[in-house]
Structure 1
């Protein structure tokens, strides 16, 4: 299944405990649409801790903003709040202090994190590795990425209007995949090959690689 374009988004909210669960659900939904199911748990944990920091150290009901984007192949999560004095700190795991424990969790699951002071607010951010090879690639590996590029091309040839509207929808990508397979079968027959034999062999390769957990090369 294809995924939607990974366009940055942000959401304003009030820092209240009941908002945390709602923000976690929104993050799960968006990451699912982005094809990043494998980092959902870590992303939700980061959102929980960054928002909880605002609630605890800045105050209940503080106007804040959650922003999620791709920074290269990293998933970037940012939380903005208006207090430039209450800075998140990292506390050692064996400390008796309760403060900083949340950032210790963020530090443990992310590749990097930090705090940026702006003119009238601060931004606490963190970045999670996604194992993608490029911004628009897929976790399925190079083969899935190459297939997506072919499907985009076919979809734009069959429906030129898609060329200005980003990546194909899942339904359009599936239809393009069927057209690609049919065209390849025509090519095989035109060159004196047996399309049924090629399909059987391709299916055997696919099933063997799926069973072995091969992502392609």
Structure 2
């Protein structure tokens, strides 16, 4: 008798990893995103997703308080992929709109805003989660 595995709901398993609050963690976060999206058959989303996670990790590295951050890649529904970074800072990220400035840094959230359908911050007593949602290509 063959036993068939019961299908798991979309997003199971999720992908997350605790990483050092260091610039080098962006590379690990990109690998995690690639792995998750490939497992879900969403390879066409990888290019935008790795840019987004790089920017979210960069902000957490620059503005976080403790020595670690948590990267989360989930698929809450069939139509969405959520990329998130959790840190212990209470500072809420703000999107810069002064694009006439010569500064190279500080425009990452503009990229996040352009590459995703929506993004935001969930605040907690101990810190925050900054997240960005990509609509799955099949749902567009």
Give the TM interval when normalised to the shorter protein.
Answer: 0.7 to 0.9
Determine the structure 1 residue equivalent to 2:58: 52
Determine the structure 2 residue equivalent to 1:123: 129
- CA shift in 2, pair 1:93/1:31, >3 Å: farther
User: SS state of the match for residue 107, structure 1?
Assistant: helix
Determine the structure 2 residue equivalent to 1:71: 76
Q: What's the CA shift for 1:98?
A: 5.3
Structure number having the greater helix percentage: 1
Q: Work out which structure has the larger RCO, using CA pairs closer than 8 Å and 6 or more positions apart in sequence.
A: 2
Number of aligned positions between the proteins: 129
What is the distance in 2 between the residues matched to 1:15 and 1:22? 12
| Aligned-CA RMSD value | 2.2
Where in structure 1 are there 5+ consecutive unaligned residues?
134-138, 140-217
Determine the structure 1 residue equivalent to 2:88: 82
Determine the structure 2 residue equivalent to 1:17: 23
**Structure 1 position 132 matched with structure 2 position 130:** no
Scaled by the length of structure 2, the TM-score of the pair is: 0.82
| CA displacement, residues 39-65 of structure 1 (integer Å, 9 cap, x when unaligned) | 001111111000000111226x73111
What is the distance in 1 between the residues matched to 2:72 and 2:118? 16
User: SS state of the match for residue 24, structure 2?
Assistant: helix
| CA displacement, residues 152-185 of structure 1 (integer Å, 9 cap, x when unaligned) | xxxxxxxxxxxxxxxxxxxxxxxxxxxxxxxxxx
Structure 1 moving runs of 4+ over 6 Å: none
Q: Is the 8 A contact 1:91 1:99 kept in 2?
A: no
Scaled by the length of structure 1, the TM-score of the pair is: 0.54
- CA shift in 2, pair 1:98/1:89, >3 Å: farther
Q: Is the 8 A contact 1:112 1:126 kept in 2?
A: yes
What is the distance in 2 between the residues matched to 1:74 and 1:66? 17
Structure number having the greater strand percentage: 2
Q: Is the 8 A contact 2:36 2:73 kept in 1?
A: no
